[in-house]
A and B are shown apart, each in its own frame.
Chain A
Amino acid sequence: MINIKKQEETFFKVLMIMSLIIIMSILFVIIGTIIYKGLPALNWDMLTKLPGGGFYLGKEGGVLNAIVGSLYLIIGSLAISLFLSVPLVLYINFYLPKKSVFGSIIRFSFDILFGVPSIVYGAFGFALMMYLGIRASLLGGIIAVALLIMPIMMRSFDEVVKLLPRDLPDALLSLGATKYEMIKVILRQLMPGLVTAILLAVGRGIGDAATVLFTAGYTDNIPSALNQPAATLPLSIFFQLGSPVEEVQNRAYASALILTVIILLLSFSARYFSSKYSKNKI
């Protein structure tokens, strides 16, 4: 009897360790494959040149348009979502009573918004743009991506604010500070958490293709105004991979490598900031 118990225990333990190993190796295989395929095609021109004539037939050029387009897009949408989500989180946590129904309804609705797929944001953004009379442009992309990353920012920043010990705001208030002054002090304390939330949101926003497919359009040039279409890295990968020309496909792998490196950097710095935050906790 004891033997069977022991065997069962060992059997499942082995299964569990195997599943951990499988998951880990999947990650390494994915990153390894991207590096293996992308590195040979990666060169300086890819990073610094716009697509030249016949780029999509395998002639020279790079994906600078997509890199800069993605950058513009994420900066714009980050500005919008920061402007909306930071005051919202502070409002829920410091202005509303602790067990406020209104606050939990807002949190709940953002949980749901977090689950809404990016293609729906894309379709909604597209419908909105048609209603407002905007064509596929940088502005349209910024609005759609801002909608996509706002729930991420809001929820992850909210988690950080919730972890803040209540003593600090209470002490400030008891010293006669107004709520606004209190928030100014607390924001400094919350900075690392906010940075982590931003990095998470940027990682999600910069890698998403389905939202920008309808809204930002695609172009070989760098947009110089909000009403011009903008290329983005994920779409550039997608379009290049769809080409029958082998060199163009190889460039898709190189672009995928560029995007992966960006994402890895963002992810590592998010970890760095959040670990720094947990060390500095009062």
Chain B
Amino acid sequence: MLGIAFFSLLLLLVIGVSLFLKALPIMKEKSLWVLLTSGNWKPFKGEFGFLPYILSTLYVSVIAIVIALPLSLLSSIYLCTYASKSIRRIFEPVIDLLSGIPPVIYGVWGTLTIVPLIANKIAPHFVEFSSGYTVLAGGLVLAIMILPLLISILLEVFRSLPKDITDASLSLGATKWQTVKKVMLRKSTPGIIAATVLSISRAFGETIAVLMVCGNIPLIPHSIFDACYPLPALIANNYGEMLSMPSYESALMLGAFLLFIIIVIFNGISRLTLNQIEKRYSL
């Protein structure tokens, strides 16, 4: 059992190191700075600029969190303070099911519903033509995908607040909403930030759904109605071709390494914050 314990501790390290070693050849060829800030992606000429992919990932994730955060904040506050037990019991399986639906199903649904919606209804108001496979489509699908994670962490954060402080506020004559606004939200700000960071990192790594609705054109998107090409989609799309060119493979592995490092850091910080919140109030 001790062996398994050490093995599992090493796993994180092994993943990181092996991706790094695979990414090393391309970093020797070109400086990391050039790789990250150049917009030229021409694998067959040996140019690997990650900027379009990094920006695409960022844009898509930002849209996702901007949509998902208010929705999940409002609904988790309602479930914690206003909702009766029966409403909670109805809503719990909804969150479970949303989190259980596989990414590829979200992708299929995105191409069936979101993409035509954007192409026919939303985009014509703003731009002349849009295929629907856009930054916005990716953001919308991702927003729905991170909702269950966000809601369940927020619920935990709110539940870990000691009941005394909300009771004190209510007994002083504050309305429920005032208590929520001035006590609950203020007291649980670190938890809310941690939940947000955690969900953003989930959005960063989402692959198949995003691959299906984003359009996958390696150019820097200029509006939310342009196609984009997030980093995970790039890795997933090119795995077959990359074997023939060592530097291409190394570049893709660099992409995976970047994702891994960013997500580990984001996860580490937010999990530490959440653990501390849990510890402070569970005594």
Interface residues of A (CB under 8 A from B): 5-6, 8-9, 12-13, 15-20, 22-24, 26-27, 29-31, 33-34, 37, 84, 87-88, 90-92, 95, 102, 104-106, 108-124, 126-128, 131, 147, 150, 154, 203-204, 206-210, 213-214, 234, 237-238, 241, 252-253, 256, 259-260, 263-264, 266-267, 270-271
Contacts and interface: CB of A to CB of B under 8 A. Distances in A.
A47 to B, nearest CB: 18
A34 B208 contact: no
A102 B9 CA distance: 10
Q: How large, as a class, is the contact surface on chain B?
A: 35 or more
B104 A119 contact: no
Interface in B167-191: 175-178, 180
Given A9-B177, A16-B78, A259-B105, A271 B96 contact: yes
B269 to A, nearest CB: 10
A87 B98 CA distance: 30
Given A20-B75, A112-B267, A119 B108 contact: no
A16 B98 contact: no
A84 B22 CA distance: 27
Of all A-B residue pairs in the complex, the 4 with the closest CB atoms, nearest first, are A117-B205, A207-B102, A16-B78, A123-B256
Interface string B178-211: 1010000000000000000010011011111000
Contacts of A204: 100
B132 interface: no
B38 interface: no
Contacts of A113: 11-12
Contacts of A87: 1, 4
Contact of B102 (A29, A33, A234): A234
Interface stretch (B48-56, B220-228, B258-266): B258-266
Contacts of A271: 93, 96
Given A13-B177, A115-B202, A34 B108 contact: yes
B161 to A, nearest CB: 18
Given A33-B112, A209-B103, 14 more contacts: A22-B71, A27-B94, A30-B105, A105-B9, A109-B8, A109-B11, A115-B266, A115-B267, A124-B256, A127-B19, A207-B102, A253-B108, A259-B105, A263-B101
A195 B78 CA distance: 31
Contact of A106 (B9, B91, B239): B9
Interface in B82-120: 82, 87, 91, 93-94, 96-98, 100-109, 111-113
A104 B271 CA distance: 12
30 contacts: A8-B175, A13-B82, A13-B177, A16-B74, A19-B72, A19-B74, A20-B75, A23-B75, A26-B98, A27-B94, A27-B97, A30-B101, A33-B109, A108-B268, A108-B272, A113-B11, A115-B266, A116-B15, A116-B205, A120-B260, A123-B19, A123-B235, A124-B15, A126-B239, A147-B11, A203-B100, A234-B104, A238-B212, A259-B102, A263-B102
Given A115-B198, A119-B207, A9 B5 contact: no
Nearest to B83: A20
Given A19-B75, A90-B1, A120-B205, A110 B8 contact: yes
Contacts of B256: 119-120, 123-124
Most chain B CB atoms below 10 A, which of A23, A91, A206: A23
B271 A111 contact: yes
A74 to B, nearest CB: 12
Contacts of B113: 29, 33
Given A17-B78, A26-B98, A259-B102, A120 B15 contact: yes
